Structure 1
């Protein structure tokens, strides 16, 4: 190191090369400015020099010469930086004027080499847009010269023009990079949409085709199989939509983590059980290893998001493995847990590994067409792991398999006793009177049939106005209100009913539930703030409704 460098000196040199300010052809814009400097100050030579500190070099980007010098002899030349007046300019980040190099104290102290061809020197600093001093605009004369304030002012103004030209080059470079990134993103989105269209149509085909066959079938066993096919297809479709929503949360910075005690071994076992049938159907082994865990050990973190990560990694491993095994390993210590998912599948090409966790990316188009997938899963996994304080990595040998690994700082908590059995809430609907308001006849039919299966008496409303009229008479144990209805929305219905103060008339409003597909955390908080008691996410299943019966069940026991 020739003289003390700023922390980002190497980055600045990279910037000089990237902007083609060093080791690049001459540019008319810079040559015009050096010519202007030479003419206005009446000197024999003006130069634009950029410093390469790590090489102890001054590179001549542009030069305007008169007399013994020629422009072409100077442009592209390299001088020693450490023993030059230009070094003093860069260190001071201010103009430096030398009247007579032969008598200058810096030359006499041998800090700077005297040049017989250059006696007088005037230099001003040049900077990148971030303010980093990276070069010098200088003029020289063969005889002693006292530089006036006007000389310094003129050269400083010209240096500002040079800085502006540098800024323009950087802006153009950033535009080129942005355009290329936009083209790549557009191509990735186009590929994603093609894959997503295929992935959505596949479960839709299972649902629509299954329904058609269900209408025609009279064989109970065949009907059961068709129902399972329809259910599995619907779950796959829901997974696709959830992946897209999760990615949008990540992009918007709206994904939040829950901090609560949970059992990581139970999470791993659930994932193992979930994908074990898929592995067995392909003739491969799905193995789980839990190392270093205490009995009923608890950790603090987000169990749902950890399960989402494990499920995604194991699902991919099973999908891309046709022979051998998939191994899910969790290693525990006091500070956290380490996760490894290893498979003996087809592996990942080395050139694809750097892009593996980018949205809309998949290892190979041919493999994507054969195995399926949208290219969203690993992008979501990377974001969730990062939010949880870890960093996921992947390594692979083509044809031999892949391994994904990460460590999470999940502190160990004291073991807990086995949880007591809690009520499911299903009995809470027995004898309950429930108002269901939804503008979709299909939703009304499905929700009412589910509630009737649980023992409830159901009253239906097709819009918000009808819901207000029916609920105003009281007598309902629960209100299930769709949020997006024509006329009065679900929020407006609950606001109207809360404002009516039914209790003053001796009537009860009932447990109010918002039924919606808008289930971002801030949206749910907004519904609760408007007067709802709970929120039910669409699409809903019978188990979701059973859970809602718990408040009614508690009320029944309280009144018993």
Structure 2
């Protein structure tokens, strides 16, 4: 690292502070660029032709790299004195978050001969309002501690909804447990004593307790009579409950994750509250550079880009994002501009830069805002994907076949079509709930029953990807292949969620 030369009194404290701030800014840029290169490189790996074990390994590395990026971003914001957006209340798609944790710790466990298992009860909410990074740090340190001391045995993360709707995360292992001395000072900084045989300084448990307090949760650790230890994080209802009842005609966006790039604090609050009310998970960027950093690190279903932002304006963000999507570094997603300037010349410049749509500010109606976002997401799903350079160009169609659905609605007739669509959505929702319950309990018979229904429903609307995945899962369940069912169920549920979301915006007469 280079510093300005020391020349005694010639450099004031102010000058030295400015030089240090500049050096931090330059280092932050290089660190973020390196992290983006790692994640971008992982995205370019074609995994469909790899065996299941290698796909799982890459998935775990990708999940870990995204956590690393969040931690680095938090550290850089801390040293630079920037805003910590994660401290604002925000929705978190809990099951998606837990699937990412499962990928990470399954990989880590495999490296150490430990079997990691995730169990999520069917009544656990899909969306909670928690600080994602704080929850990640609590669970990661608890699981990491368990994996470290479990030997070649089992570590389990169980998530349940306990009495009084307390959200309960339980990490159990089959290791030696904690010594009596360690139990008396579990959460103290550098709690390990020289008498403990276990390695490490006990810093992880201190971090877990610190972040549990941030969440407003209770953390406890005990030794089990059967051997091993159990760590329990209990989050009270008032700390996690995400109120998402719009009480109006606003749509449900709980299946989506949205990036909001907006420099105005009031607008940030307004947009994020609207999205939270509709159940969406959102992340905030205060300028164009932050927006590009977010898109380089993580996946979103849609990005809202304010045109007038400091450091890097919205038009430049749109151009850069489109170029990086073409190179395969960024995943494909709709980019929606937000601006108060809607003159024809402004609109032309915005669309020329790569915007998929344009929303005029201020946003005055949550209903029209929500339906506009659904429209752009559905339209993007039916558009050609921007192919990566060197990759074979391919078209990503809607998750159903338009002509098959049109024919189905024609048969139902003008009066029967709305009822048919309602029943279809109701049946798909029932299958989704049933499969999630079967996933949590490991019930292969229920998996077989619900995939059988899904095979029929997906065939009726020409949902080829869902149909094929449901057939494969049904076969695995019939054969008693619990490992294949556990591995492939999350992918089928994701595909089913996309099908339900796409069908939700189809008019009764078809699209």
Provide the TM-score with structure 1 as the length reference: 0.32
| Rg larger for | 1
Provide the TM-score with structure 2 as the length reference: 0.35
Q: Which has more helix, going by share of residues? A: 2
